[in-house]
């Protein structure tokens, strides 16, 4: 359990660092900012792999597929919790104008599409503004667990140890 917490904290720290880099460089205000957050995924893959390798040693040199998947999901859960807490702080204190910027982009796009009246657009954006914080924070947690699960399903194929039967052990 300590292994999954540790590697989850590492993965969360990378996500936080990338968010801060985007904020301080101004990339969060550009179109590149929408994909910038995905740069932490290779690090998540690395930390799930390292956690699975370490857990293999914890289990006496063996790791089943299920244990590998469970390890990866827990790494993602801890990373998601840490990152979600940070996102709440980020959106409330560090960059409170971020949600306003997103809402303004949506307003511009909706008005340019000419499919809704300006009054309807404002009514819709009022709801978006109210739900943006919980969706952003919850989305970080859910996406971290989702991606970690997908990665763990794949990584565990390569990290698992093959089950040996009792007959093979006796012949050695």
Residue 170 has pLDDT above 50, yes or no: no
Evaluate whether residue 20 is within a structural domain.
yes
Evaluate whether residue 111 is within a structural domain.
no
Q: How confident is the model at residue 164 (pLDDT cuts 50, 70, 90)?
A: low
Neighbour-count burial of 49, counting CB atoms closer than 10 A to its CB (0-12 exposed, 13-18 middle, 19+ buried): buried
Nearest Cα residue to 83 out of 152, 139, 146: 139
pLDDT of residue 167: 45
- pLDDT average, residue stretch 101-126: 79
Evaluate whether residue 132 is within a structural domain.
no
Look at the chain and report how many structural domains it folds into: 1
Q: Which domain holds residue 61?
A: 2-94+137-162
Q: Which ranges of 26-113 would DSSP assign to H, the alpha helix?
A: 33-36, 41-58, 65-89, 98-113
Evaluate whether residue 105 is within a structural domain.
no
Evaluate whether residue 71 is within a structural domain.
yes
Residue given tokens 């971020």 in the structure block: 98
> What is the pLDDT of the chain when averaged over all its residues?
87
Q: Which helix (H) or strand (E) holds 139?
A: helix 118-159
Neighbour-count burial of 91, counting CB atoms closer than 10 A to its CB (0-12 exposed, 13-18 middle, 19+ buried): middle
Evaluate whether residue 55 is within a structural domain.
yes
Evaluate whether residue 103 is within a structural domain.
no
Residue 60 has pLDDT above 60, yes or no: yes
pLDDT (tens digit, 9 = 90+) per residue, 2-59? Answer: 999 999 999 999 999 999 998 999 888 887 777 877 899 999 999 999 999 999 988 8
pLDDT (tens digit, 9 = 90+) per residue, 150-163? Answer: 999 999 999 998 76
Q: Are 52 and 68 in contact (CB under 8 A)?
A: yes
Q: How confident is the model at residue 132 (pLDDT cuts 50, 70, 90)?
A: confident
Q: How confident is the model at residue 86 (pLDDT cuts 50, 70, 90)?
A: very high
pLDDT of residue 98: 84
Evaluate whether residue 30 is within a structural domain.
yes
């Amino acid at each position: 359990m300590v292994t999954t917490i540790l590697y989850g904290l590492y993965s969360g720290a990378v996500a936080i660092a990338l968010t801060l880099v985007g904020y301080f460089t101004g990339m969060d205000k550009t179109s590149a900012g929408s994909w910038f957050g995905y740069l932490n995924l290779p690090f998540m893959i690395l930390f799930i792999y390292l956690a699975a390798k370490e857990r293999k040693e914890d289990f006496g040199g063996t790791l089943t597929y299920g244990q590998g998947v469970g390890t990866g999901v827990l790494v993602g859960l801890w990373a998601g919790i840490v990152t979600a807490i940070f996102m709440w702080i980020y959106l409330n204190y560090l960059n409170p104008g971020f949600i306003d910027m997103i809402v303004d982009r949506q307003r511009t796009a909706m008005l340019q599409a000419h499919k809704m009246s300006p009054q309807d657009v404002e009514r819709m954006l009022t709801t978006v503004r109210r739900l943006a914080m919980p969706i952003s924070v919850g989305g970080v947690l859910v996406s971290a667990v989702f991606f970690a699960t997908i990665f763990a399903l794949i990584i565990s194929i390569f990290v698992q140890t093959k089950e040996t039967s009792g007959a093979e052990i006796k012949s050695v």
